Every structure is written in structure tokens, then in C-alpha cells.
Structure 1
Amino acid sequence: MSEMRNLITDVAGLRIGNAHDVALASGVTVALFDEPAVASCAVLGGAPGTRETDLLEPDKMVPGIHGIVLSGGSAFGLDAASGVQAYLREQGIGFAVGNARVPLVSQAVIFDMLNGGDKEWGRYPPYRELGYEAAREAGLDFALGTAGGGYGATTANLKGGLGSVSATTASGHVVGAIVIVNSIASAVIGQGPHFWAGAFEEGDEFGGHGHPEKVHPDKRELIWKGGPQPATTIALVATDAVLTKGQAKRLAISSHAGIARGLRFSHALYDGDTVFAAATGRKALDSLEDFTHITAAAADCITRAIARGVYEATALPFASAQPSWRDRFG
């Protein structure tokens, strides 16, 4: 096995691309699969924004998809998938129907409309072009933090961002996650610096602070954006295992536990927490116990990726912008 990057691209068979617009303070992250990936999705937030998720249900015909988009822009950002489709079509990639090929691209968005960026884009939003650019840039290495779909992300009290990690199960399956942390709640205990995810940290991937000895009641008071502003944490978990669509659905559902551990709190009325799960089919399962290990590892990866996305973020270049974790804690 090649050297691990601690990124979702450690899962063989997928690439990640980012594109963002500094003035817009928003962007797009794209996952492209080398071969159509078995995928599914679980939406547990109360205010989601999604595209082409019905086809991911286990009872639907399509056996695999070509790409998944995680982007900013709220409902306007759903245009990004069209840009990714355009790129894939140019490469001759798509689901064959007669002599036509239709690239299948699913998507979820975050709400980053009130972060200080210039959203007066004219008649059409810029996300289609950002989607195309992100697809064109897809590779094995990519930026974290204030990058791609996480460029404009915020949390309740610190700058959010794009996080990614990977893990290997005891049976040798590689699992990874990529998350846009744009949460209604907080990723840190109290005012920080400890992350709720601290117990799951590998090395010093998000500062090495671990957990405090005790989380006192005052540190458990709810910290949230409040009011009707939506906020969302969206993610993709991937594995090199051979899975059915039904198993991919179960993986997506189980992985939501990682959001609940990485944030306090999640799955609220005003958020659209959504997890995609994809299998690139490079290594068969030895048993259903293997699958259970994969689901546990995927949830852990989401927890870690949430903290890493906040840890790697830098503040937006606006006077009223939220501070980053590093601004506060160095």
C-alpha cells in the first residue's frame, strides 16, 4: 500500500477537487470516482439542500454514480453539479442509455449566504463554473480548512471549513471521510481549545489537546447560531470495500454518529446534516463483521474530520469574520 495521506483519497478509486471564489466567500468540493461507485445517502437534518439523492436509495435502478459534490451556496449552489456533469461528459463518462451518456452526480449544500462575501452575482450564480473547475482539479492531494466547499463555512463560534482523514480497519479495508463543517453548533468544548472530537484524535491532527479531565456543566451549555439561520454539516465517507447499495445506505446512516460526537449538537431543525457513503469495490468483505468495523471506522473518521476542518481553517478576510481556531489558540 502506498504511503497514507490521512485524507479520503487514501481510499483507492477516488479523487478530490476544490475550487472557491474569495470575493464570493464560497466554493465547491468534488469527489470523482475512477469507476462508477456504489453509493447511498442519509439525510437527518431538518433543512437539507440536495440533488440526485433519490437515485441512491437501494430500491432504485442505478448501480453506481460518477461523482459527489459538497458545496456552498445554499440552493443556488446546486448548480455546481451541472458543472461537474459538463466536465465528465467532455471525458466521455456517464451512464449509458442507448448512444447517450448521462453523468450521475449527487450533491448536498451548506448555507453560507451570510458570511460577508459578495453574493450579488447577477442573473445566474457562479457555482456551475466552480463545479467544473473543481472537477478539473481533482487529484489525490487537496487543501483543507478554508478551501473548496468549506471556504465560506462557519460554526457557532469559530470559522468552519473542509476536513478529511482516513483509517484502516483490522481486516485491511481503508476508510476515509471528507466533511464541510458549517454547523449550527460548536466543535469545541465551551470556548475551547479542546474539541469534542478530542478522544478520537490521531497524532496531532487537530492540535493534540485531547479531552479535558472533566467537562463541567458550564462547558456543556448550548452554543449555537440561533434564530432562523440554517447551518449544515455535510460529508462523504468512502471505503475500498465491495458493498451493496443496501450496505452503503446502512454505512451512511451509521456514519451520522460521527457528526453527533464531533459537534454539540447536530441533526437540528435548522440544519441539513447529510452524509453520503460510497464504495469503490477494490477489496471484498471477508464477513459481515468486516462491514461492522467499516461502519465504526467511518463514524470515527467523520468525528476526526470535523475537528480537523475547524483546526485547519483560516478566517475570512472581512472585518466581521469569525476568528479561526488558530487565531484564538495558536
Structure 2
Amino acid sequence: MGNFQNITDVPGIKVGNEEDSKGYTGCTVLVMENGAVCGVDVRGSAPGTRETDLLHPLNLMEKVHGICLAGGSAYGLDAASGVMRFLEDKGVGLDVGVGVVPIVPSAVLFDLPVGDPLARPDQKMGYQAASNAAQGHFPLGNSGAGCGATVGKVAGHHRAMKGGLGSASFNLPNGLIVGAIVAVNAIGEIRYPNTGEVIAGARDDLGYIRSSLEWMLEQPEIPLTVGTNTTIAVVACNADLTKSQATKVASMAHDGLARTIYPVHTMYDGDTIFSLATGEVSASVDLIGTLAADVLAEAVIQAILNAEGIVNFPSSKDVRKSLRKGRE
């Protein structure tokens, strides 16, 4: 199995980012001009989403033309309208006889306490991110929806660290490619899935990362309001799947979050995963779902390793460097 760079290794998928580097918010847009079968699985208890009901396997619509991942809490859902306008300008969407209606599901994360709380992704930002969409390399870490993302908030925002945008992909000898993109904005800590080593989380007064469970046992309740986190992601493959099968892949992909984020799917998160299939290769749902979990776990790690520290929110690289200096 080969490792590639990112989700755009899946044929038919383009990615574009746009961010406000002063207000610390942004959006990440996936464009599928030929459409893609789409499913979704929402596990967090405080989600912010748009058009997810349309993706239910019993409902009519089979394909989507874009997905918008954005910061800004519920305000950021406005960015999807900009993506729709971009696709309409290109003539991409569901043909309804008098024009096209682009189908663009969206999910948002909460980044209002980071930077300017009045800086939010809007239609203009969504349009620009869609305009930027391309295949090939794109920046990770503080880009797009990862711009204001933070992690390790179980002990409050003042102890958190920088999260970000991550992506990865795998390919198999039979031509199957599975990719993932994720904006990591979790209440919990981030761990390497194979070793359990914590690479980002809630810091104590000396700058050391302490276990989320320790913080939770010591305090009567988490010092945050509901919905102030959320990890949002897309997994994609070039397989021929039905909407029901794509939904199952999204469900299995949540294991990738569980392997790297602790705790995950809490009352304070709106964790949401979309699943795309562009329909070229024949492969079993179990194989695709298994790979989707693995590649999403890798994307989470890439988000943290590529993140750059900002004011009040150091990156994993910053904390590890500081602790090494302290031991010298």
C-alpha cells in the first residue's frame, strides 16, 4: 500500500482553502465538478451542519458537487452559499430545467475565541476557497478551516494548543485510492494511534501536557460551553459505492478519530464525517471503511504536526521544543 500526499489523489476531487490570518478563521472547500456519491455520519452532540438530511440513504439526492468545511461556528455555514454561487457560475449542479442547483453540504467548527470573534467565513470567503480548488499539493496546518482550530480544551481555552488542517491518502495495487481531509478542533488530546504518545493536549502551569482524563477527574465539569469544539472531516475513495455504502464508510471512518483524539464525540463536540465516492474501482465496503479509518487517523496527526503556534495557542512543535530546552 502506497502513501500519497492528500485527498486530491482521489480522482475527481479538488481542494481549495481560504482564511483570515488576522481573525483566525477560514474555510476548506472540496469541489467535485462531475459529482460524487456522498454519505455522512454525525457523532458529536453539538453539530453545526447544512444539507445533511439530504444525504440520508432514503432520500432522493445521490450526488453532491461540493463540500464546505468552515470555522465561525453556525455563522460559518454562510460560506457554503458562496461555494454554491461559484459552482452555479461554472454551470455545475443538479439540472432543474431552468438552471442548475449545486448540492453543497457543509459542517462548521467553533473558533470564535481564537483571534477576532467577529471574523467569520462568509459567502465571499466560500466563493474564493472554491475558486482556489485544485488537484495536487495544498498547505496544511493553519490553512483553511484549520486556521483557528485548537485542541486540548478539556481544562479551558487558556490551556489549549493549536490544531489545524490535515490530509493523507493511501493507494492499493488494484487502483483503489482512499483519502481524507480533516480540520482538528477537539476538546480532547491528540495521540499517535500506534504508540499512544500524546502530541497535543491541555497544558498545566509548567507547560506539560496532562492527560484529559486527569483534568476531567479533578474538575466538577468541563469549563466550556456546549458546541465549542468539533472535528470535521471528509473521507473519499475512487470506488463505485451507493449512498448507503458511502454512509457506512463514514461511520467506520469515525474509528480514525477515536484512535487519535481522546476523548472524542463528547457533548461539547459536533464531530462530523462526510464520505465521498467518485465511482471508478470495485472494492468492498469493509475494505474501504477500514482504510478510511486508517487514513483519517493519519490526517489528524498531519494536522497537528503541520500546525504553527499563534498567540496563546502553542503548536505541538513549540511545546516539544520548549520542554527539550527545559530539560537541558
Normalised by the size of structure 1, how large is the TM-score?
A: 0.85
Query: 2:248 matched to which residue of 1?
Result: 250
The answer to whether the aligner puts 1:134 opposite 2:119 as a matched pair is: no
Q: Secondary structure at the match of 2:148?
A: coil
**Aligned residue among 293, 299, 303 for 2:293:** 299
- 4+ residue runs over 6 A deviation: none
Asked whether the 8 Å contact 1:4–1:10 carries over to 2, the reply is no
1:264-275 matched pairs, under 5 angstroms = 264-275=262-273
How far is 1:126 from its partner? Answer: 4.5
**Aligned residue among 303, 306, 317 for 1:326:** 317
Query: 2:169, 2:18 → 1: CA distance?
Result: 22
How far is 1:199 from its partner? Answer: 4.8
Query: 1:278 matched to which residue of 2?
Result: 276
The answer to whether the aligner puts 1:155 opposite 2:188 as a matched pair is: no
Query: 2:70, 2:172 → 1: CA distance?
Result: 29
Q: Secondary structure at the match of 1:184?
A: coil
Query: 2:46 matched to which residue of 1?
Result: 47
Q: What's the RMSD between the two structures over aligned residues?
A: 2.2
Distance 1:186 1:220, change over 3 A: closer
Asked whether the 8 Å contact 1:196–1:264 carries over to 2, the reply is no
Deviations 1:263-290 (A, max 9, x none): 11100011000000000112123xxxx3
The one-letter amino acid paired with 1:172 is: G
Query: 1:102, 1:200 → 2: CA distance?
Result: 45
Deviates more, 1:154-163 or 1:168-177: 168-177
Identity in percent: 42
User: Please, which runs of 5 or more residues in structure 2 have no aligned partner?
Assistant: 153-159, 200-209, 217-221, 322-328
Query: 2:188, 2:273 → 1: CA distance?
Result: 17
Q: Secondary structure at the match of 2:129?
A: helix
Distance 1:222 1:309, change over 3 A: farther
Deviations 1:69-104 (A, max 9, x none): 111000000001001001101101110112221011
Pairs aligned (count): 296
1:1-330 matched pairs, under 5 angstroms = 5-115=4-114, 117-120=115-118, 125-140=120-135, 141-156=137-152, 157-169=160-172, 171-187=174-190, 195-199=191-195, 219=211, 221-222=213-214, 226-228=223-225, 230-285=228-283, 290-316=284-310, 318=311, 321-330=312-321
Q: Secondary structure at the match of 1:232?
A: coil
How far is 1:220 from its partner? Answer: 6.8
Distance 1:63 1:221, change over 3 A: closer
Deviations 1:139-182 (A, max 9, x none): 12211001000000000132000000011246431000000000
Q: Secondary structure at the match of 2:162?
A: coil
Distance 1:220 1:170, change over 3 A: farther
Asked whether the 8 Å contact 1:158–1:310 carries over to 2, the reply is no
Distance 1:280 1:324, change over 3 A: same
Query: 1:236, 1:106 → 2: CA distance?
Result: 11
Asked whether the 8 Å contact 1:237–1:277 carries over to 2, the reply is yes
Query: 2:124, 2:34 → 1: CA distance?
Result: 24
Query: 1:215 matched to which residue of 2?
Result: none
Query: 1:311, 1:58 → 2: CA distance?
Result: 36
Asked whether the 8 Å contact 1:31–1:67 carries over to 2, the reply is yes
Query: 1:20, 1:256 → 2: CA distance?
Result: 26
Query: 1:111, 1:146 → 2: CA distance?
Result: 15
